[in-house]
C-alpha cells in the first residue's frame, strides 16, 4: 500500500462536552464539524469522531502485560515522530493523569519506542508512541 490515507475512528463518549474540552483544549486537536451528539477532530491528520453513547455500567477495563506494564485494552492512538512525541508529552503532562507515564519501552531491543497511556474523561484509553527508527514499527 503506497498511498497511506488518513484513518477514521469513531469512539463512544458518555459526556460530549467533557470529551470535547479534553480533545480540543487539553490535547489541542482542531475541532471540525459537530452536532449535539458527535464532534469531529483532526487527530494528527486523521479523523477522530466522538459519539455520545450512554455508558454501560457493567463494562470493565481490561489490561494486558507488556514490558512489565499493565496496558489498557482496548486503546487507540497514533505514532508520532520522535521529537513530536516528546514535545506533545511535555505539553500535556500538567493536564494528564497517566496510566503509564512517558517512557522508553523495549529499550535496546527490536521495536524500541517511546510510549505513554492515559484515559480521556469518558474512559477511552489512548496510547501515543514514537520510534527512534520508524523502520522498527513492524519489525519482528
Q: What is the pLDDT of residue 57?
A: 58
| Per-residue pLDDT tens digits of the chain, which is 140 residues long | 457 788 999 999 999 999 999 999 999 999 999 989 999 999 999 999 999 988 765 556 688 888 899 999 889 999 999 999 999 999 999 999 999 999 999 999 888 999 999 999 999 999 999 998 988 888 87
Longest dimension (CA), the chain: 47
Q: Tell me the three cell numbers of residue 129.
A: 508512541
Give the predicted TM-score (pTM) of the model.
0.88
Q: What is the pLDDT of residue 49?
A: 95
Cis peptide before 134 (omega within 30 of 0): no
Cis peptide before 74 (omega within 30 of 0): yes
Arch. (CATH architecture) of 8-52: Roll (3.10)
CATH pick for 72-136 out of 3.10.180.10, 3.40.50.300, 3.40.190.10, 3.50.50.60: 3.10.180.10
Q: What is the pLDDT of residue 50?
A: 95
Write out the residue limits of the CATH 3.10.180.10 domain(s) in the chain.
8-52, 72-136
Beta bridge partners of 64: 71
Amino acid at each position: 500500500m503506497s498511498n497511506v490515507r488518513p484513518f477514521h475512528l469513531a469512539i463512544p463518549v458518555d459526556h460530549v462536552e467533557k470529551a470535547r474540552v479534553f480533545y480540543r483544549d487539553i490535547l489541542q486537536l482542531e475541532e471540525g464539524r459537530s452536532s449535539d451528539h458527535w464532534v469531529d477532530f483532526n487527530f494528527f491528520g486523521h479523523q477522530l469522531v466522538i459519539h455520545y453513547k450512554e455508558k454501560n455500567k457493567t463494562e470493565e477495563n481490561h489490561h494486558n502485560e507488556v514490558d512489565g506494564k499493565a496496558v489498557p485494552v482496548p486503546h487507540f492512538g497514533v505514532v508520532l515522530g520522535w521529537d513530536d512525541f516528546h514535545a506533545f508529552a511535555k505539553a500535556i503532562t500538567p493536564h494528564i493523569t497517566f496510566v503509564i507515564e512517558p517512557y522508553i519501552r523495549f529499550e535496546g531491543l527490536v521495536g524500541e519506542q517511546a510510549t505513554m497511556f492515559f484515559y480521556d474523561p469518558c474512559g477511552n484509553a489512548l496510547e501515543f508512541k514514537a520510534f527512534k527508527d520508524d523502520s522498527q514499527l513492524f519489525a519482528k
